[in-house]
Amino acid sequence: NFDFVMRNCTMDGTIFPDAVIDGANFEFSTSVIDSQVRFDGAHLTESNFNGANMPGVSFQRALMQDSTMMSFNGDGGSFNDAALARVNFNRLDSDSPVSSFIGTRLNRVDFSDVQMEGAIADGAQFRTAVMNGILFRDGSMRGADCTNATMVGVNGRRLDARAQIRSEGFIVPTILDNVDLRNSNLRDFKLTLGVATRTVFDGCDLRNAWLRQADVTQASFAGANLEQTDFTQAVGLVPNCQGFCANRGCLCDTRPRCPRNILPAASADCESAELQDYEYLGDAFAGIDFTSARLEGIHFLGVSLTESVFSSAFFGQFSDTVLSRMEDVRAARIRADSATFSSVVILRTDFSSGVFNSLAIRGAGNLFED
């Protein structure tokens, strides 16, 4: 149990496992680099980490309350399973460096009334994070992964959340409710099958953004640049998507189609189809025929492919794919580059003579049967 002041100390590689730290004042100098410091499982109350330069720091399972971490550098670190309440990560003053979390893992973190004004979280992971009342104004989350994150009452004005286009790392918050994102740079932002109710996008740059199948009920887009913004199957646009997008340049239906203008669906004939860059979520594709099809950047999430045919099909960048079932599927001579199967049940499926480059299997368990 610590209640102390540490001045001009070097803590490289120091470990504080499950420590209780109340009112500690570390008085860091930003010129001192403390790498791989670990506070795993620690309880930190009213502690001062201002100016700390701690690349690779670990606060896994930590509980942090009423503490200040202004101008904090946690690049490449981990806050997994941590709970942060009333923590201040703002810059100290106009001349101080901003707090930085580049490439940091913040999975399953509970942010409550946390201030991160001006913080840089490019490439960070916020998977399943809960961000209630967080202040992220003037910050940067370029290429961040917010899959299944919940953002309620967030102030993210002038936030730079441009997505880095890559097979992994889509920005996919599930809930983005009552969030203030006005004047933010959201170019190439991807919110697929998400909720953006009551969210303020006023003055945002949303060019080439995806809000496919999103709920944007009562969202505001006043003065936003919506050139090529994709609202395919989105709900809540007034009076409807076509009326809303008139003279705005946004898109209402970009679903790729099979030959003869057929939409991919159960039992559809998509033989020799060429489909690109689309995510199919929760749809049933039982019996679809993709024989000799070429599918580039196509993602199936939570999809059932029972009795489907993929013989001689080609999948390019078949990654981050979460199928629910592949049962009685004929996929002989299939070719898939960078394929990922996550927690999928595969029954009586024929992959004979198939080629899988960079195959990844996650959450296997009883993955393959018959």
Asked if residue 170 belongs to a domain, the reply is no
pLDDT at 160 (0 to 100): 83
Asked if residue 121 belongs to a domain, the reply is no
Asked if residue 40 belongs to a domain, the reply is no
Asked if residue 135 belongs to a domain, the reply is no
pLDDT at 29 (0 to 100): 66
214: number of Cβ within 10 Å: 27
Asked if residue 325 belongs to a domain, the reply is yes
Top pLDDT among 213 and 289 is at 289
User: Which pLDDT band holds residue 223 (cuts at 50, 70, 90)?
Assistant: very high
- pLDDT above 90 as % of the chain: 35
User: Which pLDDT band holds residue 247 (cuts at 50, 70, 90)?
Assistant: very high
Asked if residue 284 belongs to a domain, the reply is yes
- Strand 294-304 to strand 335-337: parallel, antiparallel, or no bridges (unpaired)? unpaired
Alpha-carbon distances, residue 359 vs 21, 149, 318, 319 (angstroms):
45, 27, 9, 9
In the predicted model, what is the mean pLDDT of residues 69-98? 90
pLDDT surpasses 90 at 261: yes
pLDDT surpasses 90 at 367: no
Residue-wise pLDDT for 128-142, tens only, equals 888 888 998 888 888
Q: Which residue has the tokens 């399943």?
A: 128
pLDDT surpasses 90 at 274: yes
Tell me the pLDDT of the chain averaged across its residues: 83
Alpha-carbon distances, residue 248 vs 42, 216, 218 (angstroms):
51, 16, 18
Q: Which tokens sit at 351?
A: 């992959």
pLDDT at 170 (0 to 100): 43
Q: Which range has the top average pLDDT, 89-103, 312-326, 355-369?
A: 89-103
Count the domains in the chain: 1
User: In this structure, what are the phi and psi dihedrals at residue 53, rounded to the nearest 5 degrees?
Assistant: -115, 90
Contacts of 267 (CB under 8 A, 6+ apart): 286, 287, 288
Alpha-carbon distances, residue 352 vs 17, 342, 349, 356, 367 (angstroms):
50, 21, 9, 11, 17
Top pLDDT among 202 and 186 is at 202
Cα 259 off chain centre by: 33
pLDDT surpasses 80 at 154: yes
What's the pTM value of the predicted model, to 2 decimals? 0.72
DSSP string, 240-302: -HHHHHTTT--BS-----BGGGBPP-TT-B-TT-EEEEEEEES-B-TT-B-TT-EEEEEEEEE
Asked if residue 53 belongs to a domain, the reply is no
pLDDT at 17 (0 to 100): 79
The whole domain housing 360 covers: 259-369
Residue-wise pLDDT for 312-337, tens only, equals 988 776 554 555 567 788 888 888 77
pLDDT surpasses 70 at 52: yes
Alpha-carbon span 130 to 84, nearest angstrom: 10
Alpha-carbon span 24 to 142, nearest angstrom: 33
pLDDT at 314 (0 to 100): 87
pLDDT surpasses 70 at 219: yes
Q: Which tokens sit at 245?
A: 């997008």
Alpha-carbon span 99 to 124, nearest angstrom: 13
Asked if residue 110 belongs to a domain, the reply is no
Residue-wise pLDDT for 167-186, tens only, equals 333 445 567 788 888 998 88
pLDDT at 337 (0 to 100): 75
Alpha-carbon distances, residue 85 vs 65, 71, 79 (angstroms):
5, 18, 13
pLDDT surpasses 50 at 165: no
